[in-house]
Structure 1
Amino acid sequence: MNHYTSPSESARNILTANDRGGYTIPTSGLYPYQWNWDSAIAALGFAEFDIDRAWVELETLFSGQWADGMVPHILFHNPDPGYFPGPDVWGGIGPIPSSGITQPPLAATMARRILDMDAEAGAKRMRALFPAMLAWHRWIMKWRLDDYGAVCTTHPWEAGRDNAPDWDSAMAGIDASDVGEYQRRDTSHVNSDDRPTKYDYDRYIKLVQIGREVRWDQQKLLTLNPFRVADPTMSFTTLRAARDLLAISAQLGLEADGLHADIARLDAGAQSLWNDTLDAFDARDAHSGEWAQSVSNASYLCWYAGIESPQMLERLKSILTTVPHPIPSYDPNLPKFDERRYWRGPTWAFMNMLAGFGLAGMGHGVEAEALRLKTARLIAGHGFAEYFDPITGGPAGGNSFTWTAAVWLHWAGRN
């Protein structure tokens, strides 16, 4: 007799299988290390059946924090020759071999949700983590803001949306002719049509080389780095994290000097990403001031950040009814839409969850629930893929993916 495995059981199995003892990999083969924002989402999934393990995930992430407060986007806990670029290419300067860039700061927001699930058990863990979270926040405030207070990404990998159309113009300005020979590993694990192109990858590696050359000196990189883009992902997630840090500090009676002022500045910065011509939140090149003219799934994180937008709500209602599997990572009506290539069209379940958190938190319960149900149907019908074709629902990228499993357990699959 065949045993039927429910999606919830499958999701728990994926988290357990991807657990490397203290940290979780996104999926075996393709991503063999601990990724920053993946880990924050993984913690939410673990919290549904093992709350201690959820806290351990976040504690392990912060064990790689640099002395200046930065939390890297990858921690290379155990060597794996199947991944490029590895620690030898990055030349990170933290306590654990790591990359030299950060990622959208989801950890404080997810930690607050986990704390709310069991405040008694979590208070001590949160108190211990809080200074590290605050230090990371202050590092972002010091090194990543543009003149308007929007938060910039200094590498496409830092925003987490690697090959999004938002970066095309800034990427075009990078001379990668001297990047040298290297061997990509990602395309040996998954279909190359689902991945960034060699043109993109050359520029990713060039930016790593620039950072490594100055040993990730942020002051020097302000001048040297040709890539600096004020971005909805970084701006909205940093603003939300600041709001959550303030709430945690009030709840637990912790020092959090300056957060009120930071929130005001970040709020103004995030609002400055409104592109009137596009009638949406957009990315803006911090060097040139040029708009990306890109409506991405990050544009819909405004509510997650606590920012209301009637225009974005109208867009969302339209997307919910016209795109079979929303929210696409790039608007299908715009010219660069590519339904399978990573961040140029595909739907990402965890981005839907973040948008859903925001919608529900700001009173848009109908839209939040519609998005949750559509995401649940997508995962139940097509599995725990890294991302999905927004038109057909077809799975793409890696399989048995940690954050998709976590999204099911914490949000999409809940009755």
Structure 2
Amino acid sequence: MTTLRMEEAAHAVLARNDRGGYTVPTDRLYPFQWNWDSAFVAMGFATFDVDRAFRELERLIEGQWDDGMIPHIVFHAPSDTYFPGPDVWGTKHHVPTSGITQPPVFGMALRHVYEAAVASGLADAETRAKVLFQAALRSHRWWLAARDPEDLGLVSILHPWESGSDNSPAWDEALARAPTTTSTAIRRKDTSHVNAAMRPRDEDYQRFIHLVDVYRDCGWNPKQQWARAPFKVADVQMTAILARATADLMHLAGILGSENDRAELAQMQGRLVNGLARRWRPHLSRFVSLDLISGADIEAPTQAGFIPLVALALDDAQRSAITAEIRRWLDGMTVGIPSAPAFSPAFEPKRYWRGPVWAVINWLIADGLRLNGAEELARHIEQSTVRTIENVGFCEYFDPTTGEGLGGDTFSWTAAAYLVLGRRE
């Protein structure tokens, strides 16, 4: 299929998943609006329809809480094809939402969409972007207040779902402390849409829902959740995305905000960059998260160890080491970067975040490589991602060893990734 035809097919995927100004990741499996999915989708829309790109972000912040948190799911309309639904979360927001968040790609998306809108001459771009800028700023304030109360310069996740990498091997030890008992009846719907071998195990779900029960019992109060959390990880992937988004908001502050906003963002970014830089481990050639309950480094190799590239300018030794490590992960793979490497004992090439390749992760890592002057490696990752999508379609994720498409099909953020990465040289 020609590039033009594939772009048209990507547009069709986004149209198919449009629910009236917001996009579901894919029909039935994920029938609501997801936070970081929509941020990537907005950047995809910006390649051909900037008005619709703005609308994606505007619909997402309809779910923003008064304290600034942007939840990981906004339940704009009812559906019985997904668990846990709004009844399980029991939040008290004016729009039904989940009670946890997701990687804050929003600020990155806002810069991308705004710049595309200015280039296209969209008349009301600045007015719309100013509202979104303030929403993003409130979100970043929430992150540092609620998820770095100890001033580590690292933001923490209290649930694996917040990371976006739900069943990553990085969480195995920390998650094992959460009991499998729940006060909520578990009614998994995902395995009726997708082969169970591609999804988290039942035991993972029991622990996931136990955490939901704990935080719901806290009334979703951030201080109470922090105090009671059985799972508390200072996550380098989350921190890196927040730091990069903060830098993007700083870039926009002179136009969309105030000098005080820019100064506040600069202080935030300095705190995050300094915290993130301390997580480099030369003997591993990557960055590592920190288990705040045990105090131990999380050394399980996952894609998260490379995401700090989007936020940090590495020195020559670090750049050489991390690019060599990425090439080691790519060795023998049909498409990379795997979410866990083939040499890891935890590697499962078809099970969700335990090995499969995700187009948006490749997008982030390639952006980070370009930031650090490794254009050739970035281009290799981008082109292999584009070729894989052209070969098997807009799948949720891919087997790195075969290139086989996995999970849901006609997936929105994969279509968005194709539209963005396919235009790079």
Whole-angstrom CA distance in 2 between matches of 1:305 and 1:316: 17
Q: Which residue, 333, 351, 364 being the options, matches 2:361?
A: 351
| Mapping 1:48-127, distance limit 5 Å | 48-119=47-118, 120-121=121-122, 122-127=125-130
Letter in 2 for 1:75: V
Structure 1 181/147 Cα, relative in aligned 2: closer, same or farther at 3 Å? same
RMSD: 1.8
2:298 counterpart of 1:287: no
Equivalent residues of 2:288, 2:299 under 8 A apart: yes
Q: Secondary structure at the match of 2:402?
A: coil
Structure 1's 93 and 273: CA in aligned 2 closer, same or farther, altered over 3 A?
farther
1:284 aligned counterpart, secondary structure: strand
Deviation at 1:178, TM superposition (A): 4.0
Alignment pair present for 1:131 and 2:137:
no
Query: Structure 1: which 5+ residue stretches go unaligned?
Result: none
CA contact (8 A) 2:181 2:207 kept: no
For 1:51-109, what per-residue CA distance to the aligned partner results, in whole angstroms no more than 9, with x for missing partners? 10000000110111000000000000111111110001001232210000010000110
1:161 counterpart residue number:
165
Contact 1:59 1:129 in 2 (8 A): yes
Long gaps (5+) in structure 2: none
Question: Is this contact kept in 1: 2:329–2:342, CA < 8 A?
Answer: no
Partners of 2:406 and 2:183 in 1: CA distance: 29
* Preserved contact between residue 71 and residue 101 of structure 2 (Cα < 8 Å): yes
CA offsets per residue over residues 355-408 of structure 1, 9 Å max, x none?
112222332211111111111111111111000000001111100000000001
User: Partner of 2:308 in structure 1?
Assistant: 302
Structure 1 residues 191-219: Cα deviation after superposition (integer angstroms, max 9, x where no partner): 00000001100011011111111110111
Secondary structure of 2:310's counterpart equals coil
* Match for residue 190 of structure 1 among 184, 188, 194: 194
Structure-2 separation of matches of 1:287 and 1:276: 24
Change over 3 Å in CA distance of 1:180–1:134 after alignment to 2: closer
Counterparts of residues 1-400 of structure 1 (less than 5 Å): 6-119=5-118, 120-121=121-122, 122-145=125-148, 147-254=151-258, 255-256=260-261, 257-308=263-314, 309-310=318-319, 311-400=321-410
How far did residue 276 of structure 1 move? 4.4
**What SS class does the counterpart of residue 376 from structure 2 fall into?**
helix
Quick check: 1:165–1:292 contact (8 Å CA) kept in 2? no
Partner SS state of residue 177, structure 1: coil
Give the Cα–Cα distance (whole angstroms) in 1 for the partners of residues 407 and 141 of structure 2.
Answer: 34
What SS does the corresponding residue of 1:384 show, helix, strand or coil? coil
Percent identity, please. 41
TM-score normalised by structure 1 residue count? 0.96
Q: Count how many residue pairs are aligned between Structure 1 and Structure 2.
A: 414
* Contact 2:108-2:244 within 8 A present in 1 as well: yes
Structure 1 residues 358 and 177 mapped into 2: Cα distance closer, same or farther (>3 Å)?
Answer: same
C-alpha distance in 2 between matches for 1:277 and 1:181:
44
Q: 1:237 offset after TM fit, Å? A: 0.4
Once residues 103 and 184 of structure 2 are traced to their aligned partners in structure 1, the CA distance between those partners, rounded to angstroms, is 29
Counterparts of 1:357 and 1:123, CA distance in 2: 26
C-alpha change, 1:75 and 1:178, in structure 2 (3 Å) is closer
For 1:375, give the aligned amino acid. T
> What secondary structure does 1:63 align onto?
helix
Taking structure 2 as the reference length, the TM-score comes to: 0.93
| CA-CA distance at 1:284 after TM superposition | 1.6
Contact 1:150 1:273 in 2 (8 A): no
Q: Kindly tell me: are residues 5 and 411 of structure 1, through their superposed partners in 2, closer, same or farther at Cα, counting changes over 3 Å? A: closer
Counterpart secondary structure, 1:294: coil
What is the CA–CA distance in structure 2 between the aligned matches of 1:57 and 1:246, rounded to whole Å?
22
Q: Mean Cα displacement is larger for which, 74-83 or 312-321?
A: 312-321
